[in-house]
Structure 1
Amino acid sequence: MSFADGLNALAAKIRDKKGGIETEEATKNAFIMPFISSVLGYDVFDPSEVVPELVADVGVKKGEKIDYAIMQNGAVQILIECKKIGEPLNLAHAAQLFRYFAVTSARIAILTNGQVYQVYTDGDAPNRMDEKPFLVFDLLDLDRTVVPEIQKLSKESFDLDSVVSAAEELKYIGLIKRILANEIKEPSDDWIRYFVARAYDGKATQKVVDQFRGLVDKATAQYIADQVNDRLKSALGDEAGHVESAVRATPAEPVDVEVQRKPVATPDPDIVTTEEELDGFNIVRAIAVSEVAAERIVYRDAKSYFAVLLDDNNRKPVIRLHLNGKSVRFVTTFEDANKTGVRHDIETVVDIYKVADQIRATIRSYNIDSAAPIAVS
């Protein structure tokens, strides 16, 4: 099993089993030990590689235990402190890690609840664990760019110098990305004032800031959509014919078993695929590529809606776009096991980004058994 396969398999297990896990001990057995063994490749039953319940007396603190210590050549390399699945992770939970970090040879510490992992080192002061992690990842929402960094912690690839040297850059990149994500999702007044100062000649009163909030939100969404579309055009070919050949435009049919038995009808000349619908499709595809390969996302246009499907399968609807109404536009997502449609009113195709989480969740529900590989660069 490859490193990416191990991550995918564990993520599928977490999605399937997390609802039934109620204790820290169960979390360790179900999710954290498999991460150490199946993903990182350490033998959890070999005390020369993994020591559970490591005891290292610290000052007046006697008999405290750290959940796991990963060893190499008889020395502690990685400390792991575990919490129950779903429990939030914060510095209060890392108190034991701080203490143990100072009295062992470890330079890597991990705080985890089995789904989210926070990885620390001592970049700010030698032998003192940093207060902020240099790497944070969620196995159910994994940023593919961090996969090589996780792999550096594995038995096969472990390289302490490489991990530590990359830690500072990773820490600040991660922090900046989280700041940007928060500002895009819920813009602060300071963020809005930054744009007001550069785009508005008058005084930046609170009223002006409030007026600009919606403008900044729309401009940001449109800019992201433009960048995504440019990248898709570059990847798929600038000519419309290239894009058309990459997706299939055939009449959509209701999600119905009986319909599946009917032959595919001849394309209806009354069905016209608009530029706006193609823009919407490109946005959906851009959202979907975090879960599956782009070529697996296709569309079928119909008179009443524009359907986006996984694997060109009517039983796997991703979203339906209703963009031809004169005054009302909306999209339909499919968020439960019965694939019941949920309506979301929108103003422009850019608003499709507002249902990105639902799109990804729907694709994961179809793709969970196939465990599509994570691209490791």
Structure 2
Amino acid sequence: MQFAERLAALAAKIRQQRDIIVTEEATKNAFVMPFISTILGYDVFNPLEVVPEFTADVGIKKGEKIDYAIVRDGEVQMLIECKKSAGDLRIEHASQLYRYFAVTNARIAILTNGEVYQFYTDLDAPNRMDSKPFLVLDMADIDETLIPELMKLSKAEFDLDSIVSAAEELKYVGQLKRTITGLFQEPTDEWVKFLTSKVYEGAFTARVREQFTGLVAKASRQFLSDQVNDRLKAALGESPIPSPDTATLAASVTSESAVEADLAADDSVETTLEELEGFQIVRAIVCSEVKPQRIVHRDAKSYFAILLDDNNRKPIARLHFNRSQKYLGVFDADKAETRHPIDSLDEIYNFADELRLSVKNYDA
């Protein structure tokens, strides 16, 4: 099994078990030890590689323990401090890592709750752990661009010099990505004002700020949706949808009432990236039966419909994602819907036969 596949398998296990893991010890056994062994590749039962409850007296602090120390060639290379998975990670949790980092040879410190892994080094001052991580791995939403860097910490490909040299760029790129994500989800007044100044020449009054806050949020959602669609279309080998010409675009935005109506509709029904990704998975499955262009979607308040030929009488599936428990609705020959609970988008593939049969029923 390849590195990325092992990472995905552990992420799936965490999703399945996270609700029943409520203590720090359970977090270590269920999540952290498998991460050390299957992802980083170290033998958790070999004290020459992994030292649990590692102790190194620090000043007046005697007998304090760090959860795990990773050892290579007789030297401590990484320190790992664990917290229970049900809790959020805070910098206050890293106090022991700070102290141990200064008195060992370790250049990498990891703070984790089994689901999120924060990696630290000493970019700001030698032998002093930074206050901000250079790499954050979220097992619930794995950033594939981080996988090559994570591999450098594994036993098979350990390359400390390379990862430390890349740490500064990773640190700031990661922080910028998280900041941009936050601005897209909840645009700040400063962000709204900046973008407004690029497209609006009037004074930035309170009324303009209120108007453009909604427009910036809407444009952000549409931009992200477009990016997802373009990427998935490229994967399916489809041609991108042609952009409207300038005259059509101008006509679509000059009517103030039309813009307000569009905003009102957008507020009542919001299409999410997860729904669009689910749609593309369904379309990829059933395009073995019909041309992809015949598979379309319509969003509603209570569900996201996937149809054949844009026809309400030809439902293929419904995505019920606007609740804590997600459901995939599939249809039989009598158009009766059966809802199946799913925890991740990957589980849609488990119903590939039913989805294809639904399409065949309409094209028979």
Q: TM-score over 0.5 for the alignment?
A: yes
Match of 1:25, as an amino acid?
A: E
Looking at structure 2, the residues matched to 200 and 141 of structure 1 have their Cα atoms a distance apart, in angstroms, of: 36
Structure-2 change in CA distance of 1:15 and 1:98 (3 Å): same
**1:363 equivalent in alignment to 2:345:** yes
Match of 2:184, as an amino acid?
A: I
Q: Which residue of 2 aligns with 1:212?
A: 212
**1:91 equivalent in alignment to 2:91:** yes
Deviations along 1:102-143, one digit per CA (max 9) or x if unpaired, are 000000000000111000010111101011001101112111
In the TM superposition, what is the alpha-carbon distance from 1:233 to its structure 2 partner? 4.7
Structure-2 change in CA distance of 1:65 and 1:135 (3 Å): same
Whether the 8 Å CA contact 1:285–1:294 is kept in 2: the answer is: no
> What runs of 5+ residues in structure 1 fail to find an aligned partner?
241-279, 309-317, 326-330, 342-358, 370-377
Q: Which residue of 2 aligns with 1:333?
A: 320
Structure-2 change in CA distance of 1:285 and 1:151 (3 Å): farther
- Which residues of 2 match residues 107-126 of structure 1 at below 5 A? 107-126=107-126
Structure-2 change in CA distance of 1:324 and 1:188 (3 Å): farther
In the TM superposition, what is the alpha-carbon distance from 1:212 to its structure 2 partner? 0.5
In the TM superposition, what is the alpha-carbon distance from 1:367 to its structure 2 partner? 5.7
- SS in structure 1 of the partner of residue 99 of structure 2: helix
Q: CA RMSD in A?
A: 3.7
- Which residues of 2 match residues 248-263 of structure 1 at below 5 A? none
Structure-2 change in CA distance of 1:169 and 1:139 (3 Å): same
- SS in structure 2 of the partner of residue 95 of structure 1: helix
Match of 2:44, as an amino acid?
A: V
Looking at structure 2, the residues matched to 124 and 227 of structure 1 have their Cα atoms a distance apart, in angstroms, of: 36
Structure-2 change in CA distance of 1:38 and 1:332 (3 Å): closer
Match of 1:202, as an amino acid?
A: G
Per mean C-alpha deviation after superposition, the further-off stretch among 72-81 and 38-47 is 38-47
Looking at structure 1, the residues matched to 134 and 350 of structure 2 have their Cα atoms a distance apart, in angstroms, of: 29
Instruction: Identify which of structures 1 and 2 has the higher relative contact order when contacts are C-alpha pairs closer than 8 Å and 6+ apart.
Output: 1
Deviations along 1:40-88, one digit per CA (max 9) or x if unpaired, are 1101111111111111111111110000000011110000000001211
- SS in structure 2 of the partner of residue 57 of structure 1: coil
Looking at structure 1, the residues matched to 215 and 275 of structure 2 have their Cα atoms a distance apart, in angstroms, of: 25
Whether the 8 Å CA contact 2:27–2:84 is kept in 1: the answer is: yes
In the TM superposition, what is the alpha-carbon distance from 1:25 to its structure 2 partner? 0.7
In the TM superposition, what is the alpha-carbon distance from 1:188 to its structure 2 partner? 0.4
Instruction: Provide the aligned length of Structure 1 versus Structure 2.
Output: 297
Q: Which residue of 2 aligns with 1:193?
A: 193
Q: Which residue of 2 aligns with 1:259?
A: none
Structure-2 change in CA distance of 1:288 and 1:73 (3 Å): farther
Match of 2:165, as an amino acid?
A: S
Q: Percent identity?
A: 53
**1:70 equivalent in alignment to 2:70:** yes
Structure-2 change in CA distance of 1:223 and 1:121 (3 Å): same
- Which residues of 2 match residues 1-377 of structure 1 at below 5 A? 1-237=1-237, 239=239, 287-288=277-278, 295-296=284-285, 306=296, 319-321=304-306, 332-333=319-320, 336=325, 339=328, 361-366=343-348
Of Structure 1 and Structure 2, the greater helix share is in 2
Per mean C-alpha deviation after superposition, the further-off stretch among 13-22 and 118-127 is 13-22
Per mean C-alpha deviation after superposition, the further-off stretch among 56-65 and 220-229 is 220-229
Q: What is the TM-score normalised by the length of structure 2?
A: 0.71
> What runs of 5+ residues in structure 2 fail to find an aligned partner?
241-269, 313-317, 331-340, 352-364
Looking at structure 2, the residues matched to 337 and 235 of structure 1 have their Cα atoms a distance apart, in angstroms, of: 25
Q: Which residue of 2 aligns with 1:274?
A: none
Match of 1:156, as an amino acid?
A: A
